[in-house]
Amino acid sequence: KNQLRKEFELGKRVTRARAYVCGLGYSELRLNGRKVGRNVLDPAWTTYDKRALYVTYDATGYLQPGRNAVALMLGQGWFKDIALLVHLKIELEGGETFEVVSDASWKGQDGPIVMSSVYNGETYDARLETPGWDRPGYDDGRWVAAEVVAGPKGVLSAQMMPAIQVVDTIVPLKMTCPKPGVHVYDMGQNFSGWIQLRVRGQPGTAVKLRFAELIYDNGMINRENLRGARAEDVYILKGDGEEIWEPRFTYHGFRYVELSGYPGVPAVNAVKGRVVHTAVEPTGSFACSKPVLNSLQRIIIWGQKTNLHSIPTDCCQRDERMGWMGDAQGTAEEAIYNFDMSAFYANFLRDIRDVQDEKGTITDTVPHIWGSRPADPAWGTAYPLIAWYVYQYYGDRRVLEEHYDGVKKYVEFLRTRAENGLVKFSYYGDWVAVDRTPGDVVSSFYYYYDVKVLAEMAKVLGKEADAKIYGELAGAIKLAFHREYYDPKTRSYANGTQTANALPLFLDMVPEAERGGVWGSLFDNIVYKNNSHLTTGIIGTKYIMELLTNSGTSDLAYDIATQTTYPSWGYMIENGATTLWELWELREGPSMNSHNHPMFGSVGSWLYKALAGINLAAGSVGFEKIRIAPQMVRDLHHAAGSTRTVRGEVSSSWSRDGQSVNLDVIIPVGSEAEVIIPKFNLENIVITEGDQIAWDVRGYQAGMQGIQSVEKAPTGFLIKIGSGRHSFRLRGD
């Protein structure tokens, strides 16, 4: 039964009430005829025989003295058998408390939701509505008694992260009629969610909504890439004036909606887009003087947020929407710059722990439905890396305490699979690359990375012995990696792809003497062989941009970022992408080519780090020490970024012309920063902060509030500052 109800009597006025609902299956809580709160698709998806989440709702304003009704609508969601635990805790005037708990005295019946499925959609027959069912005084004599079932094993845990909500409502860009009776709406944006429908007509009329990311030239929707997801909602009218409906227990990933069976000609406002995802708070912003990069930021944001559905999903349209860990780890830093991900990842790390077995293995997807156990090492690395990012960016040491043992167990598992010091098994490796890199190179790189991160975690937690053991192990892997993959003839690793050379360079695994050679090979490959384009898959792409910037070639990174020919982000944008694609290639046929796949959005953190210049200072966590080092390259003459950190807003905004550089920074209270301002070829430099001189021909002018020092650096000036707003201007001739 997909509707449940129970009535109860309250003797007094309610001062405070909480409702706790743990659903195995989606549920919508209603009190006295009203939906409680704004969440949808509650609760979060977990490995529920390990950890089932309960959601806490503030029910205070919904109850009254006298008779009350609690009612729920239920949907399958990601769960096998629907079951529910409801607990109302009510405080009454005078301090008395009252509790209502789900049991066999509750009644159930099947309501108007005839079918609901995450992938396939929802069918709602409004003729089956029973008005008043969720209010007191309804005659439920023909309803059946709820069946009491055993709960899942494992723990019951509070859902602590933001819930999924309808975060935004958008209106269609246009409506066309490619065939009689068939109307197609272009929402102008690929997103996750559903449509709110407005309709008037005869009872029993069935209006069908079908969803797609793509459209054919003839104006009909193209659903070839949805694979097994039916992505179809049906609303059957009750025939009672204007009817406004939206589904509850499904969601779609789409830009286009096809409406058929609609009585008469629908108006443009017959549909509205409801943007649905985990309501993480946006905390970042980035903009600059290069339009293609602003478009890139925009499609990253849309792709990222619409793939937060209590877990980080790979996509939101086809029959997948899985917590693929490779995608999750690749985009984590980008997500952290753009959104408050602290509670989201705290939950996801528990999700990962929940799939870990006694041997220490984890899985490609979390919760585990698709993919393998053990995970591809480039996917499994999500466990150590996301824990480490959360610690670095949010300064949350508890996350390390909570997951240290799990991460160690995972690393120890990898170690059992090592051959000659390297871990070689791999399924995906540098996934969806243009030039393929051998998977074992990628796996061995992550073996090194994981061990190194574990050693650092041990250091933070004061586990000296482990820090030493894993530090030494990391050293041995590094040597083994070089021995196995380095080819002195080609001055390259393995087959010399961009990824094969970028990975060891990124983690400083290349012996000093060989570094220049490998770097040269990488540079030649990008610039001469590929005309400043990437040929990397999701793994190489994650590290290469940052590597180029850290190696002093931000101009090349910028060339890559601003390309508009294949393969590049700009190519997606030029071809109409409103979210990132799964592939560098433009494909619109069947099978694997999602048009909303956030994984190539890892470049998002580079926009902040390199172009806005916002970085954690080396060795610092939680933005206690910040490094502001904007890369003012090529034709870029302005960039601005800000991100709200645990300490407050960090912001950097710069502009320049031939004679001067302006840089405004905000450093939160309790933090300090080093700021690098480039001087280009300018001479006779004067640096001012506000209206005071901080540097001129005499050198550093001490004594200014908030400025600790100004010194010359290789390409400009290094200024050390405390918290506050600083407005620098460097001038010269």
Catalytic residues: 320, 582
Q: Which of 125, 213, 233, 327 binds ligand BGC (CB under 6 A)?
A: 327
Half-sphere exposure of 633 (CA within 13 A, CB side): 21
Using the minimum distance from each CB to ligand BGC, give the nearer residue, 519 or 600: 600
CB of 5 to ligand BGC, least distance (A): 40
Q: Which of 7, 125, 314, 440 binds ligand BGC (CB under 6 A)?
A: 314
Report CA-CA distances (Å) from 204 to 124, 125, 130, 243.
11, 8, 16, 13
CB of 723 to ligand BGC, least distance (A): 41
The two structure tokens encoding residue 403: 């997951």
d(CA 394, CA 203): 55
Site for ligand BGC contains 324 (CB under 6 A): yes
Q: Which stretch binds ligand BGC (CB under 6 A): 53-61, 314-322, 553-561, 603-611?
A: 314-322
Buried b (16+ CB within 10 A) or exposed e, 84-98: bebebbbbbeeeeeb
| Count of chain residues binding ligand BGC (CB under 6 A) | 9
The two structure tokens encoding residue 393: 């960016």
CB of 314 to ligand BGC, least distance (A): 4
CA nearest neighbour of 280 among 423, 163, 385, 115 = 163
Using the minimum distance from each CB to ligand BGC, give the nearer residue, 32 or 317: 317
Helix (H, G, I), strand (E, B) or coil at 67: strand
- The one-character DSSP state at 545 is H
d(CA 684, CA 182): 70
* 8 A C-beta contact, residue 594 and residue 315: yes
CB of 434 to ligand BGC, least distance (A): 16
Site for ligand BGC contains 134 (CB under 6 A): no
CB of 384 to ligand BGC, least distance (A): 18
Site for ligand BGC contains 233 (CB under 6 A): no
Using the minimum distance from each CB to ligand BGC, give the nearer residue, 383 or 717: 383
Site for ligand BGC contains 431 (CB under 6 A): yes
CB of 80 to ligand BGC, least distance (A): 22
Q: Which stretch binds ligand BGC (CB under 6 A): 32-40, 320-328, 340-348, 642-650?
A: 320-328
Q: Which stretch binds ligand BGC (CB under 6 A): 127-135, 242-250, 313-321, 499-507?
A: 313-321
The two structure tokens encoding residue 25: 């299956």
Site for ligand BGC contains 326 (CB under 6 A): yes
CA nearest neighbour of 474 among 426, 414, 387, 515 = 414
Neighbours of 535 (CB within 10 A): 21
Half-sphere exposure of 196 (CA within 13 A, CB side): 14
Question: Pattern of binders to ligand BGC over 595-614, x per CB under 6 A?
Answer: ----x---------------
Q: Which stretch binds ligand BGC (CB under 6 A): 228-236, 243-251, 318-326, 443-451?
A: 318-326
Q: Which of 106, 256, 262, 428 binds ligand BGC (CB under 6 A)?
A: 428
Report CA-CA distances (Å) from 648 to 32, 51, 295, 665, 725.
41, 33, 27, 13, 12
Q: Which of 122, 125, 320, 546 binds ligand BGC (CB under 6 A)?
A: 320
d(CA 226, CA 211): 9
Q: Which of 88, 212, 315, 621 binds ligand BGC (CB under 6 A)?
A: 315
* Binding-site ranges for ligand BGC (CB under 6 A): 314-315, 320, 324, 326-327, 428, 431, 599
